[in-house]
Amino acid sequence: DLPAALQDRGGWANRDCARWFADYAAVMYDRLSDRVARWLTIESWRNRWTLGRLQLRYGRDGRWYPFTERDGGWWPAGPPERDPSAAVHERWQPDR
């Protein structure tokens, strides 16, 4: 979800929204970085969650499908899971 003030200005349909969101994210990082170790964004309109070279895609069947990035594309990385944390658990390696 966007902050209400950004949504009131047209949300993602407004071309300036990406810059506004980047500014918002920078403020949140500045204010909360002493309490938050890892940050991520969720592309809810596409039902995708990306963390480094791992991406989860939410399927119409209600399951999360893992993908990994390699050779310039996203490739299936294992079976789907109902729980996104289960889909990430075996596949995410933060040191890579």
pLDDT at 80: 92
Mean residue pLDDT across the chain: 83
pTM of the model: 0.51
Which residues, 6 or more positions from 42, have their beta carbon under 8 angstroms from its beta carbon? Answer: 48, 49
- Token pair, residue 21, equals 């969101």
Give the pLDDT confidence of 10-22 residue by residue, as tens digits: 887 888 888 888 8
Residues 7 and 26 in one domain: yes
**Is residue 85 domain-resident?**
yes
Determine, yes or no, domain membership for 95: no
Q: Residues 25-54: what's their mean pLDDT?
A: 80
Instruction: Assess if residue 55 is contained within a domain.
Output: yes
- Is 96 within the bounds of a domain? no
Would you state the pLDDT for residue 18?
84
pLDDT one-digit tens code per residue, 50-79? 878 888 988 888 888 999 999 989 999 989
Per-residue pLDDT for 34 more than 70?
yes
Is residue 32 located within the same domain as residue 52?
A: no
74, 83 Cβ separation under 8 angstroms = no
Could you list the residue range(s) of the whole structural domain that residue 66 is in? 42-89
Residues 22 and 47 occupy one common structural domain: no
Q: How far apart, in whole angstroms, are the C-alpha atoms of residue 71 and residue 87?
A: 22
Number of domains in the chain: 2
Whether residues 1 and 17 share a domain: the answer is yes
